[in-house]
């Protein structure tokens, strides 16, 4: 449960990063939102994109979106996550190489830490932020009851945290029967610790993976 807010103009430091785009060895887009917001900033600085950097996308959908901008990106073959990206051979030895992460505000930070540990000089171009939807106390609870919600699809740990923040502890207990669909075992563990007993884990957070998991869940419910 997240609301996306794009930043209108880059800061002076972000403008420096954009001017120096050709000096980065690796440019990584964390999500489709990062592509949309990031390319909106990059385009005025680089009508012709620099040829030097390697470009990356965490997932296939993000890679397809980059391709619409003329960028052919490296993408994990199987595990569409930060961990899958870190397995790519191009990102194993990074001593002294500059890496730019195009992303939203917040997040786990695991990717940045791992790349730095491999010797990369990592910078982050934060071009949007995610905030919880504005809802009055009790409003989410009323919606869940009124609409007889049986399943909620959660795309990240941050989204789950926002959902829990919008529910009081009593409401969380009341809705513990609702199935949560999550993108990873890590988020599943958080959901179970919060009291949700029915948790479905998708392969990753991509639309296709979540829809496959939804179809499998519907089959089970139908049985």
Give residue 88's pLDDT.
95
Domain boundaries, the chain: 3-131, 139-222
> What confidence tens digit (pLDDT) does each residue in 18-35 have?
999 999 999 999 988 899
> What confidence tens digit (pLDDT) does each residue in 56-93 have?
999 888 999 999 999 999 998 777 778 889 999 999 99
Give residue 223's pLDDT.
52
- Mean model confidence pLDDT for the chain: 88
Give residue 70's pLDDT.
94
pLDDT over 50 (residue 3): no
CB 55, CB 27: distance < 8 Å: yes
Residue written as tokens 């990753």? 204
Please report, rounded to a whole number, the percentage of residues in the chain having pLDDT higher than 90: 56
The arithmetic mean of pLDDT across residues 173-193, rounded, is 90
The residue among 152, 164, 149, 156 whose CA lies nearest residue 214 is: 152
Residue 222: pLDDT band with limits 50, 70, 90:
low
73, 76, 86, 106, 109 from 118: Cα distances, Å: 21, 18, 10, 22, 15
CA distance 103 to 108: 12
Which range (7-11, 156-160, 172-176) has the least confidence?
Answer: 7-11
pLDDT over 80 (residue 160): yes
* Architecture of the domain defined by 139-222: 3-Layer(aba) Sandwich (3.40)
Query: 3-131: which CATH number, 3.40.50.1980, 3.40.190.10, 3.40.50.10090, 3.20.20.70?
Result: 3.40.50.10090
> What confidence tens digit (pLDDT) does each residue in 142-159 have?
999 999 999 999 988 878
């Amino acid at each position: 449960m997240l609301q996306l807010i794009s930043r209108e103009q880059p800061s002076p430091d972000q403008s420096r990063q954009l001017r120096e785009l050709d000096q980065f060895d690796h440019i990584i887009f964390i999500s489709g939102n990062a592509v949309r917001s990031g390319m909106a900033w990059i385009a005025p600085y680089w009508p012709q994109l620099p040829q030097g950097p390697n470009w990356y996308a965490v997932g296939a959908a993000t890679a397809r979106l980059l391709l619409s901008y003329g960028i052919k990106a490296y993408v994990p073959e199987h595990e569409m996550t930060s961990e899958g990206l870190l397995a790519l051979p191009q990102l194993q030895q990074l001593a002294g190489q500059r890496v730019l992460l195009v992303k939203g505000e917040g997040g786990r930070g695991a990717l940045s830490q791992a790349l730095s540990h491999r010797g990369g000089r990592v910078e982050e171009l934060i071009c949007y932020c995610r905030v919880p939807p504005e809802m009055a106390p009790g409003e989410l609870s009323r919606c869940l009851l009124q609409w007889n919600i049986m399943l909620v699809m959660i795309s990240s740990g941050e989204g789950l945290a926002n959902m829990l923040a919008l529910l009081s502890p009593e409401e969380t207990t009341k809705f513990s029967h609702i199935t949560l669909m999550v993108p990873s075992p890590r988020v599943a563990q958080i959901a179970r610790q919060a009291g949700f007993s029915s948790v479905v884990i998708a392969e990753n957070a991509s639309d296709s993976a979540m829809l496959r998991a939804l179809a499998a869940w519907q089959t089970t419910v139908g049985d």
